Structure 1
C-alpha cells in the first residue's frame, strides 16, 4: 500500500482552486477548493480529496482514480474540476493514458452529481456511466439538462458483465429506495486486481487525526474546539484534534447526546464578548455547549477505526429497505476485497468482506456476523446519540414526507 501524496504548497494561485459553480450547492469552502492527491496502491489507485461542509462542519469528499490494465483510467465519483484538480489528473493521464470511464455511483447525493458534468467536459473522450433511476428536485429533468454530456452518458447496465470495463471490475447496484420526495441508491465497485472496494456513502471509517485536506485550512477545526464564542483557541495539534472529534459528531449525528444548544440569549451575550465578530466567525455566534463526557461519543463512534454505516443513513434511509440493503451487502461481501475506499472520512481502510457486512447488522434482529470479530464494546453505537435523528425521522414520517421504516429482518 503506497502512501505518497503530491507536494502540497502553501502558495497557490486563487485561479487554480476556483470553483465557479459553488452557488448550485453552496457548501464551504464555497468558491475556493483545494485538492490533495494520494497514491494508495502503487501505480494503480489514487484518491483526490477535497473539502465540503456547512457551519464549519467540514469533512473530506473523495474521488478515486483506477488504472486500467488495458490502458487509461477509470474515475469513480468526480470532485470539483478546479484547475489544480485537473492538473493533478492530467499528470496521471500523461503517464497511464486518458480517462476512459467516469462513474456517477449515486442518485441522491447532489454534492456528487454537481461535479460530474464539469469534470466530464474536461475529458471529452470519456464515457460517462450513471447509477440507474437518476432524479432531480423539484423537477425531474433529463440528464443533459443537469450538465451531463448527452451523447456519451449512459446508465450502468443492471448486469455488470455487460459493462465495457467488466474484465477488471465487478459492481453491485443497491435496489432503489423510495424516500417519498426522493430516492436513494448506490453502486459499489470492486477492482479485482487491487482487491479494492469503492463505495460512496454506504460505509465510513473515522480517522483519529484530522485528515490532511481538513488541516490545510485549520480554521474550522479551531472554531469547533472552542467552548464558547468568546474563546481564543491556540492553533496546535491538540486543539485541531479536539475540533475534528466534534466536527465528526456533528456531521454524523447532527446533535449527539453530549451537545446541548444554549438559549439564544446566552449565545448573543457571549457573542458580544467575542474577540472576532466578522462574517468568517459568524459574528461571534457559537450555539454549541458540549458536556464533559462528549469525547465518549466520539470514541464509541470511531471504535478502532472500523467500518460502520453513518447514523444518518441508519435512521433516515436504509431502514426503509432492510431486505434490499442486506441483499446488496451480502453480494458486496462475496468479493475478496482487502481495501475499502469510501467517498467521505477516512481512506483507504484495510478491511475484510465480513467487516463490511457486519456494518449492516443494525438492520437485523439477530446479526449473522458475530461482533466478537470487532471491539464489541464499541458496537452498536450509543442509543442516546440517535435521539435527534429519531425525532427527525418521526417528524418526517408523521407529516407524510417519507414512508415509515420497515421492521428489521
Structure 2
C-alpha cells in the first residue's frame, strides 16, 4: 500500500533530494519514494525506500510493530519524507502514537542518519540506540549526532531496563572491535507474531527486482547494458538482468564475473556510447560482464536462502567468531518463523535452524545442511574483499581475523 501525491514536486527540499551527485553520487538523486506493506495483519508493517551509489541501488527498510498496550514501535527508521510521514500518520491514527524508536546498529550510516530527523517528527517517542555508538574522526555526544536530548537511551540486554521487554526478546551482537570503531547489532523478536527483526547481519536476494526498486527502473536498465554502446530496452528481462548484476556489485564490489575496462579505453568508449547524457554518466561504463556471470548470481542467491553479507563475513564477524555464534545461538533459541532484515528481500519465511545455517562460515566443521541452504559463498568472488582486508591489516587499521570455531 502506498500513498501518492502528484502535486508534490521533486524540488521540495523536505523530500531529501540529493543535489551533490557529481561529488558523492548517492542515489536516489530526485524524489525518494516509500512503499508500505502489511506483513502481519493489523500488527506489522514494512516501509521500503531505496539507497545506492552509482546506480547500485538496494532497498532499505523500516519495520513498524503495533504494541499490545497501544501505540507503535519503529525499528530502524528511514528518511521521514512527506510520503513516509503520511503513511506513518495513517498507522498512528489507527493504532496510537509512536512510543519507541530503535536504532539497532552503531556503524550503519544509512540507518543512523535518519534517526534524529525521524524522532523529531514524533516528539513523544522514546529513542533506544545500540549501546556502543561512535563517530569518526571524533566521538561526539549523541545529542551532537542529532539524537533528541532527554529521550534517547542506550539499549541494554537486561530485560528490566527495556520497557518493551514484555513483547520482545532482545539480543545484542558485539561490540566487535574493528579499529576505527566497533560493530554492533540489536536483534528484536516480536514473540506474539514470531517475527525476528534484524538490521544487517542476515539478507536474502530475490531473483527479480523488489517493487521499490522498480518504481524508477533506470538503474536496472543501466546495469543491464553489456557495454557502453548498448542501450537496454525497458522490459522485464532487462530489469531482472540489471537487478541480478546490481546484487553482485552490491555484495562483492568486484565479483569474479566482472572485468574492469581500462580507464583510457572506457573514456574512448564513452565518446561513442549509445547514451552520453548526464543521467548515463556521459557514456562512461568501465566494466564488462563475463558470459557466465549469471552463475555467480545463482551462487549468491542460493535459491533464496538467508546468508551473511560478504563484507560482514570477510571484514567484521570473523574478528569475533565465538561471540557471533553465541549471539546466533541465543537468537535461534527464540520461536520465530519469519525474519525482516533491513535490506534486500523481506519478509523471509525462515526459522531458527535456517538462521543458524547462515553462520556456517565461522565454523571449522560446516553444518550438515541441505543443498542450496548453506551460508557458504564462492571464494572466487571474495577477491577484492580479501585484498581490502589484507591492506587494512597491514596498515594496522583493523585486527586480523580469528580462527574458526
Q: Same fold (TM over 0.5)?
A: yes
**Alpha-carbon offset, residue 336 of structure 1:** 0.8
Q: 2:75 — aligned with what?
A: 76
Q: Where in structure 2 are there 5+ consecutive unaligned residues?
A: none
**Alpha-carbon offset, residue 278 of structure 1:** 2.4
Q: 1:171 — aligned with what?
A: 170
Contact 1:78 1:116 (8 Å CA) reproduced: yes
Q: 1:194 — aligned with what?
A: 193
Distance verdict in 2 for CA 1:252–1:131, change over 3 Å = same
TM-score (norm: length of structure 2):
0.96
Distance verdict in 2 for CA 1:238–1:16, change over 3 Å = farther
**Alpha-carbon offset, residue 379 of structure 1:** 5.3
Q: 2:372 — aligned with what?
A: 375
**Alpha-carbon offset, residue 12 of structure 1:** 4.8
Q: Where in structure 1 are there 5+ consecutive unaligned residues?
A: none
Q: 1:86 — aligned with what?
A: 85
Distance verdict in 2 for CA 1:12–1:207, change over 3 Å = farther
How far, CA to CA, are the matches of 1:392 and 1:341 in structure 2? 30
How far, CA to CA, are the matches of 1:279 and 1:175 in structure 2? 43
- 1:404 pairs, out of 378, 391, 400, with 400
Q: 2:361 — aligned with what?
A: 362
What per-residue deviation string (whole Å, max 9, x for no partner) do you get for residues 377-406 of structure 1? x75211101111111111111111111111
Contact 1:135 1:182 (8 Å CA) reproduced: yes
TM-score (norm: length of structure 1):
0.95
Q: 2:284 — aligned with what?
A: 285
Distance verdict in 2 for CA 1:27–1:66, change over 3 Å = same
Out of 81-90 and 5-14, give the one that drifted further: 5-14
Contact 1:17 1:33 (8 Å CA) reproduced: no
How far, CA to CA, are the matches of 1:56 and 1:10 in structure 2? 24
Distance verdict in 2 for CA 1:247–1:401, change over 3 Å = same
Query: Residue 174 of structure 1: SS of its match in structure 2?
Result: strand
How far, CA to CA, are the matches of 1:380 and 1:278 in structure 2? 41
How far, CA to CA, are the matches of 1:154 and 1:54 in structure 2? 32
Q: 1:212 — aligned with what?
A: 211
Question: Once superposed, what is the RMSD of the aligned Cα atoms?
Answer: 1.8
What per-residue deviation string (whole Å, max 9, x for no partner) do you get for residues 203-244 of structure 1? 000011101110000000000000111211100010000000
**Alpha-carbon offset, residue 161 of structure 1:** 4.0
Contact 1:253 1:389 (8 Å CA) reproduced: yes
Moved >2 Å (runs of 4+): 5-17, 20-27
Q: 2:349 — aligned with what?
A: 350
Contact 1:8 1:36 (8 Å CA) reproduced: no
**Alpha-carbon offset, residue 147 of structure 1:** 0.5
How far, CA to CA, are the matches of 1:7 and 1:96 in structure 2? 18
How far, CA to CA, are the matches of 1:23 and 1:145 in structure 2? 23
Report whether the alignment pairs 1:123 with 2:119: no
**Alpha-carbon offset, residue 408 of structure 1:** 0.5
Query: Residue 176 of structure 1: SS of its match in structure 2?
Result: strand
Out of 102-111 and 7-16, give the one that drifted further: 7-16
How far, CA to CA, are the matches of 1:27 and 1:152 in structure 2? 31
How many aligned residue pairs are there? 402
**Alpha-carbon offset, residue 20 of structure 1:** 5.9
How far, CA to CA, are the matches of 2:261 and 2:402 in structure 1? 35
